[in-house]
């Protein structure tokens, strides 16, 4: 981990588990001032106990006004990781209005709200990273809602990169296939489901948690200082198979 993260203020949503939690741990270990956001109080407290230097904010990002009021009190920041997300995997015919609203509220509306609220706090030279998915550009069985939201996230990424670039704020996304976080295991642990997808990945495996984090760290660092509006597909060759 580069020393350039030292004293940088970085906000991570969806910090209670999976990618968000491990990212918070690694950034804090590298000297960053991490602000961890999650709706799960218990998981945030567990994170705080293991890494006391991390500041935690328990909040349900589906609450538009509370999110704005809480995050508007933060100090100036150097990085924002929009990582919070949900995946409701069902056939199209079985999806409900509540499924639709919950998925778009967290995966799209909250990203919009958090980013807009924190925009005045973002320093010149700061970086916004969206945790998107290869499902934004490719279709997978049962992922119609999830795919639609991630396509919207990719569109936000490109539009924000264009609009915020003149302010010297970069916006990029990481777009993995399956990542074996708890959510990934819940959906893809059955070989009958994972087998057909793995057959289209030349490396014959899914994305590791650390590989996603490495992509995020790259976008946060000065090594990507001229990378803006980019989608980093972490897919093991899926797109060339």
Active site (catalytic) residues: 146, 150
Q: How is 70-83 classified by DSSP, letter by letter?
A: HHTTS--EEEEEE-
Tokens of 105: 């509220």
Q: Please, are residues 47 and 15 in contact by the beta-carbon 8 Å criterion?
A: yes
Q: Please, are residues 204 and 166 in contact by the beta-carbon 8 Å criterion?
A: no
Q: Please, are residues 19 and 1 in contact by the beta-carbon 8 Å criterion?
A: no
How far is C-alpha 140 from the geometric centre of its chain's CA atoms? 19
Tokens of 85: 């997300």
Of 225, 26, 216, which is closest to residue 234 (Cα–Cα)?
216
**Beta carbons within 10 angstroms of residue 156's beta carbon:** 20
The packing angle between helices 110-118 and 144-164, to 10°, is: 20
What 3-state class would DSSP assign to 207? strand
| Dihedral (CA of 105, 106, 108, 113) sign | positive
């Amino acid at each position: 981990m580069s020393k350039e993260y030292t004293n940088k203020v970085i906000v991570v949503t969806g910090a209670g588990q999976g990618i968000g939690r491990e990212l918070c741990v690694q950034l804090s270990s590298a000297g960053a001032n991490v602000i961890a956001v999650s709706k799960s109080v218990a998981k945030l407290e567990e994170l705080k106990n293991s890494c006391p230097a991390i500041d935690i904010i328990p909040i349900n990002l589906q609450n538009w006004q509370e999110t704005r009021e809480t995050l508007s009190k933060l100090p100036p920041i150097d990085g924002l990781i929009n990582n919070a997300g949900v995946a409701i995997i069902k056939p199209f015919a079985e999806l409900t209005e509540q499924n639709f609203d919950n998925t778009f509220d967290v995966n799209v509306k909250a990203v919009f709200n958090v980013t807009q609220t924190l925009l005045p706090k973002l320093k010149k030279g700061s970086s916004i990273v969206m945790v998107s998915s290869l499902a934004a550009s490719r279709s997978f069985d049962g992922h119609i809602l999830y795919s639609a939201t991630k396509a919207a996230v990719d569109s936000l990424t490109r539009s924000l990169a264009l609009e915020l670039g003149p302010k010297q704020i970069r916006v990029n996304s990481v777009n993995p296939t399956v990542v074996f976080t708890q959510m990934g295991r819940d959906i893809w642990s059955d070989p009958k489901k994972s087998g057909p997808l793995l057959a289209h990945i030349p490396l014959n495996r899914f994305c590791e948690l650390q590989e996603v984090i490495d992509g995020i760290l790259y976008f946060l660092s000065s090594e990507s200082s001229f990378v803006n509006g980019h989608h980093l597909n972490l897919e093991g060759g899926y797109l060339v198979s």
